[in-house]
Amino acid sequence: MGLIPIPPGQLAAVVTYLEMRERPLPAPLPSSPLRLERWRVPRPERYRALFRRVGAPWLWFSRLAMDDATLEAIIGDAAVELFAMTERGVEVGMLELDLRVAGDCELAYVGLVPELAGKGHGRWLLAKALALAWRPGITRVHVHTCSLDHPAALPAYRRAGFGVTGRAVETFPDPREVGLLEPGDAPQVAALAAPPAKRR
Which pLDDT score is estimated for 155?
Answer: 95
pLDDT per residue as tens digits for the range 93-143: 999 999 999 999 999 999 999 888 777 788 889 999 999 999 999 999 999
Q: What is the DSSP string of 99-131?
A: --STTEEEEEEEEE-GGGTTTTHHHHHHHHHHH
pLDDT for the residue numbered 28 = 75
CA of 50: how far to CAs of 29, 86, 95, 104, 139, in Å? 25, 11, 11, 25, 30
- Distance from the first to the final alpha carbon of the chain: 39
As assigned by CATH, the class of the 33-173 domain is: alpha beta
pLDDT, the chain, mean: 92
pLDDT tier at 199, thresholds 50, 70, 90: low
What 3-state class would DSSP assign to 69?
Answer: helix
Q: Is residue 79 scored above 70 in pLDDT?
A: yes
Tell me the mean pLDDT in the region 24-52.
88
- What is the spatial distance between Cα 55 and Cα 93, in angstroms, rounded to a whole number? 10
Residue 26 pLDDT more than 80?
no
So what's the pLDDT on residue 192?
75
Judged by average pLDDT, the poorest of 27-36, 88-97, 172-181, 188-197 is 188-197
pLDDT, residue 25, reads 83
Q: Has residue 27 got a pLDDT over 80?
A: no
Which strands make up the sheet holding 80-87, listed edge to edge? 35-39, 80-87, 90-98, 104-112, 140-146, 10-20, 163-173
Asked if residues 129 and 107 have their Cβ atoms less than 8 Å apart, the reply is yes
Phi, psi of 30 (to 5 degrees): -55, 145
From start to end of 9-89, where are the E strands? 10-20, 35-39, 80-87
d(CA 75, CA 37): 15
Query: Is residue 194 scored above 80 in pLDDT?
Result: no
* CA distances, 101 to each of 47, 72, 79, 98 (Å): 23, 18, 9, 8
Please state the rounded mean pLDDT for residues 3-7.
89
Residue 187 near residue 176, CB atoms below 8 Å: no
pLDDT tens, position by position, 154-184: 999 999 999 999 999 999 999 999 999 999 9
pLDDT surpasses 90 at 51: yes
At residue 1, does pLDDT exceed 80? no
